[in-house]
Amino acid sequence: MVAVANTLTRIWSSLFSGLHRILAVIFCVLTAGLIVWYFHDAMEQHSERAAGESQWLARSIQSEVDAIFVRIKDLASFTAAGQGDLIQQKLTQATRGSVYLREMGFITMGEETRHESFYVKKSLMVLEDQQLEKMTYFLLLRPGLITAFSPERYRSLFPTISKYDLILAQAMPVQQDNGLRLTNQKQGVVVSYAIFNLEDLFRDATNMLELNDVLEMRYALDGKAYKLEMPHVHDWLSSLMNADNYYAQAEISRDLVVTIELEEKFTDTTGLTYFSLGLVAMMVIAFALIGVFAKRGRQAQRELAQAVEFANRANEAKSDFLANMSHEIRTPLNGVLGIAEAFGRTQLNPAQKRYVEQIKSSGSLLLSILNDILDMSKLEHRQLVIDPVRSNLPSQLLETVTFFHASARKKQIGLLIDVDLSVPEYGTMDPMRLRQIIGNLVSNAIKFTPKGEVVVSVRFEADEADPEKGVLVIKVSDTGIGIGPEEISLLFNRFSQANAGMSRRFGGTGLGLSICRELSLAMGGSITADSSRGTGSTFTVCLPVTEVSFQDMPDLSGARVAVVGTTPTHLRLLTTRFNQLGASVIGFDYSEELVDHLVFDAERNGEFAAVFFEEGVDIEEAVMQWQRYKTKTGHTVGGIIMGERQLNKSYLNFDRALIKPFLTAQAAEFVDEFRNGFLDEAKVVDDEEEVGGEAMEFNGCRLLAVDDNQVNLMVVEELFAEMGFIIDSVESGAKAVSKAKLKSYDLILMDCQMPGMDGYQATAEIRELMNLGKTASCPIVALTANALKGDREKCLDAGMDDFVSKPLKLQIIYDLLERLKADPRYRFNFIPKTPRPTFTPERLADGAPALVAGEEAAMPPEPRQIEVPQETLERADQILNAQTAVYPDDEPQEVAEHQQPVLRMETVKPAASTTVSSPAPAPAPAPAPAKGKVPLMDMGEFNRTRQAMKKFDTLLSLYRSDTAAYLKNLRMALESGKGDEGVLPAHTIKSSSKIVGAVGLATLSAAMEERLRTGKVSNTADLLPLLAKMDQAFAATLRQIDLAMKSPAEEASQLARAS
């Protein structure tokens, strides 16, 4: 408001300092502008009418000609039908004729020649056999079509008519005797014709024009040009108005089109004159009124200046207060958050960790509330800043809702969060503003809900055009007091509530919802409310999200889950989400017969995968029932307590604890863990049986994989072959171009960094082949280990269609193929073409690729410039500089103690026709490495790759041999001082190590690559210690891989010997 007042003051001061001069200029400009506008509008309307009139002229001439055409057709029809004697009568009775028709007639030629004419006492046509025969022959070239010609063409037949008279005629052969005397061949000719005056028709039509003057009429006939000019005077008004010329065309026949040139004319300027005089009169009256109000305006200016000065002082006082308050609150709050952060880095037990996380979450949300107050001032000045960052969306939602759990428990109301499985795991938006909006809405819902529940529901609506973005739809529903429809419009106003009684009863400033609305609009979203008095309210927030990515959810198909003692709303939410995962949920109430009911249902319908117990009012009831159930069933299923407190010793009686509010995804992970942990061997499904139709929907589609790294090629072959692709693999860009010349593909995966011809150049040449039609068009997808900003744009600029980063995962491949299938350019590329082929990679027994006849062995890798993230360099420096991160070559160390993976034994039924590696343990989350260390192996990534590939043993064999060779080439490059030749070996080692989860070696390789590429080391010999670290890490990695690949029996035997 202060800014508005200042603006008004400046306007008034400027206005009245030179009032009369300013107003004179304004009104003169307005008057001139209105005159120009009126003139322009009148000219546009006049031009439209003139253009319409020119078209009317063409239609008028065409209409007259059409009437003559009808008469000619009638004449020919009657004559051919043998009713020539009735023609005169029919022409007399015709309702449509033409005054410009000078003569009509027909000629029948058979054994005798007969000529009849109408509309004239004496025919203008003189029969002359030779000319008549020529004319008949000419017309019979187009039998039944009316042809126009001038009298000059057959002057002996039409000796008296003028050159502006036109003849329209047609000839028709007659196949039977209908009263005509024909030749012995029973065939004759009927010629019907009409003579009309084109000049009279033209002059009469132009005399009816009001908005145009006719300049001339012209046409070409029989190879001659004819032009008829009209008298015309080009007046000054037409020159002033820049009159337009129009051309109207009338089609006389197929070989004759008449063109008429017209010029727009202006005759009436009365309206413009009156309009201009009226504006001048209005200007004079306005000047008089301005003089009267000028004095009053100056007085208002003085009063406004005083009000603005007072508002400025008040605004300065408010700003000082907000600044002081911000400082006073932020100082201790930052201390709390800092201490909590430092405390969280110490050795803590699980309960202490939860306490620290709650302190940090509460402090962050308190900081958000403080920002709400400060944002009020920013919103007034339109200075609010939105800072989108990539964040974990479910985590942000859960933390925000969890903060209010204590408030909800104090009021004895339920607080639930329901995150739909469609919500992405990560997305780019402003997380702080998201927490502000949800925090305000949840706080209000708890405040105005005396009993019942508050539910925060979240779903994601993907953008149909771009699957990487969409809208996050958040609904906060309560069972509170609600308001009437007439009061909803007041909710989002500042300093206002639905009614005054609410403010006295519940307190509050009335700023929360106003800030929510402003924040939603600033983020490009919206907020709406729906409420009913006595039943509750629902607030819906829609916020855009970009760069989304989704997490893999467990498949719980066929699982059964029991939920005991929860509320109907919570049971409904759990049922909906578990059903999405394929599981069924059965609800039970606490009772003396609960255990019997559970056992009976399990025996009748199938065992439960897990049983969820609601803590309720008395936790001992849940503990007792669980103990009774375990005693009766032998603890064959998992028990989960849905608790209300962060820590309760009674929770230790259960297998897992979920503290409300919790995400359904957390519960699903527990159920999946229980289900797999107690899985019966007989229920294990063969790998081959799990291959469904969807995975094989690309049968017969041809894929060209281009990569200089054999490990990468094998990963591509394994993953895509399972989907039915027929795969060709090459190791260079030049070979890729050669392959594209020989055969067509449905998809090309192109590595960007390769020796010789890189992926960008190869893509350009293949695209050129596609443009020339020498190979079929197909998508080209970049496959690279770099995922830095700008890499995607570089690939797209080179002609590639999409971009995926190594290491490849099945979900990434599925998402890529879905995007490509949705592209209309390639809708036919991914249609299954043949039954699934038996995949037999063209590789030698030792893992080396088979050479194609005429091809040379792959050249040693050449360097490419690869951008390495700064975080990777810092991690590498930790390994290089800290002795704690070195893996000695003489010790059989697998991973750091804190990183030792937990391996779970599983039973896997191998396929009969395939040699399958040892069963991969399910990935288990490992604790984060201690500060200063980088883990040698990421066992989660190792096991994911192991589970995804049937020929994992072959992949590891390639990794061993190729990495050893690249390390040797790297050492030769360093010792010879040719650092540029070592860039690509380092890059390839990094890429391959990521695939098998060797993060330690990958980090060291990235550091080596970056130092060689940027030239930070003047002497390459200085990098030999780093290379030694890489050798040690490689040896330790191989030992860890060997240990992980041992069968459970071998591992148990080794452990027994060690003990």
Residues 156-165: tens digit of each pLDDT: 888 888 888 8
Greatest mean pLDDT among 56-60, 269-273, 482-486: 56-60
Cα distance between residue 539 and residue 478, in whole Å: 9
Pairing of strands 560-564, 610-614: parallel
Is 670 within the bounds of a domain? yes
% pLDDT > 90, the chain = 18
Strand partners of residue 261:
216, 247
Residue-wise pLDDT tens digits, 839-848? 333 333 333 3
Residue-wise pLDDT tens digits, 592-648? 999 999 999 999 999 999 999 998 877 889 999 999 998 888 878 899 999 887 667
Last residue of a domain, one of 264, 284, 308: 264
Residue-wise pLDDT tens digits, 803-842? 887 656 666 788 788 888 888 788 778 877 754 443 333 3
Pair (217, 110) in one structural domain:
yes
Is 54 within the bounds of a domain? no
Residue-wise pLDDT tens digits, 722-752? 788 899 999 999 999 999 999 889 999 998 8
Is 1003 within the bounds of a domain? yes
Pair (105, 214) in one structural domain:
yes
- Residue 859: predicted pLDDT: 37
Cα distance between residue 995 and residue 707, in whole Å: 14
Pair (519, 567) in one structural domain:
no
- Residue 878: predicted pLDDT: 47
Interior angle at CA 172, CA 169 and CA 176, nearest 5: 150
Pair (429, 577) in one structural domain:
no
Is 48 within the bounds of a domain? no
Residues near 468 by beta carbon (within 8 Å), at least 6 away in sequence? 546, 547, 548
Q: How far lies 848's CA from each of 225, 282, 756, 767, in Å?
A: 83, 94, 20, 30
Residue-wise pLDDT tens digits, 1009-1021? 888 887 777 788 8
Pairing of strands 802-805, 780-784: parallel
Cα distance between residue 714 and residue 193, in whole Å: 85
Among 1035, 1039, 1029, 1032, CA closest to 878: 1029
Please determine, for residue 882, whether its predicted confidence score (pLDDT) is greater than 70: no
CATH of the domain at 587: 3.40.50.2300
Q: Yes or no: say if 553 and 668 are a contact pair by the CB < 8 Å rule.
A: yes
pLDDT band at 578 (very low <50, low <70, confident <90, very high): very high
Cα distance between residue 512 and residue 445, in whole Å: 12
Q: Please give the sequence-ordered ranges of beta strands (E in DSSP) within 644-759, or none if there are none.
A: 656-659, 702-706, 726-730, 747-751
Pair (228, 95) in one structural domain:
yes
- What average pLDDT does the structure give for the chain? 76
CATH of the domain at 432: 3.30.565.10
Higher pLDDT, 699 or 1057: 699
Please determine, for residue 312, whether its predicted confidence score (pLDDT) is greater than 80: no
Pair (83, 211) in one structural domain:
yes
Pair (539, 628) in one structural domain:
no
Higher pLDDT, 226 or 2: 226
Is 260 within the bounds of a domain? yes
- Residue 842: predicted pLDDT: 37
Q: Yes or no: say if 414 and 452 are a contact pair by the CB < 8 Å rule.
A: yes
Please determine, for residue 28, whether its predicted confidence score (pLDDT) is greater than 80: no
Please determine, for residue 533, whether its predicted confidence score (pLDDT) is greater than 90: no
Q: Which residue has the tokens 């895509």?
A: 720
- Residue 4: predicted pLDDT: 53
Last residue of a domain, one of 642, 676, 710: 676
% pLDDT > 70, the chain = 74
- Residue 849: predicted pLDDT: 37
Residue-wise pLDDT tens digits, 137-170? 888 888 888 899 888 888 888 888 888 888 999 9
Pair (259, 139) in one structural domain:
yes
Neighbouring CB atoms inside 10 A of 332's CB total 9
Residues near 814 by beta carbon (within 8 Å), at least 6 away in sequence? none
Please determine, for residue 234, whether its predicted confidence score (pLDDT) is greater than 80: no
CATH of the domain at 1016: 1.20.120.160
Tokens of 468: 């990487």
Q: Yes or no: say if 974 and 1021 are a contact pair by the CB < 8 Å rule.
A: yes
- Residue 375: predicted pLDDT: 63
CATH of the domain at 112: 3.30.450
Name the residue range of residue 134's domain.
61-175+187-264
Domain count, the chain: 5
pLDDT band at 975 (very low <50, low <70, confident <90, very high): confident
Is 933 within the bounds of a domain? no
Pair (542, 568) in one structural domain:
no
- Residue 564: predicted pLDDT: 94
- Residue 851: predicted pLDDT: 33
Cα distance between residue 877 and residue 207, in whole Å: 96
- Residue 765: predicted pLDDT: 93
- Residue 745: predicted pLDDT: 93
Residues near 591 by beta carbon (within 8 Å), at least 6 away in sequence? 597
Residue-wise pLDDT tens digits, 1025-1053? 889 899 989 988 998 888 888 755 555 55
List the single range of 245-254, 448-457, 656-665, 698-707 with lowest mean pLDDT: 245-254
Pair (719, 609) in one structural domain:
no
pLDDT band at 263 (very low <50, low <70, confident <90, very high): confident
Pair (534, 602) in one structural domain:
no
Higher pLDDT, 657 or 505: 657
Cα distance between residue 792 and residue 350, in whole Å: 42
Cα distance between residue 675 and residue 610, in whole Å: 8
Q: Give the burial class of 326: count Cβ atoms within 10 A of its Cβ; 0-12 exposed, 13-18 middle, 19 or more buried.
A: middle
Cα distance between residue 244 and residue 233, in whole Å: 15
Pair (714, 764) in one structural domain:
yes
Last residue of a domain, one of 246, 264, 282: 264
Please determine, for residue 588, whether its predicted confidence score (pLDDT) is greater than 90: yes
Please determine, for residue 935, whether its predicted confidence score (pLDDT) is greater than 70: yes
- Residue 20: predicted pLDDT: 59
Q: b/e string for 1012-1037 if b means 16 or more Cβ within 10 A?
A: bbeeeeeebeebeebbebbbbbbbbb
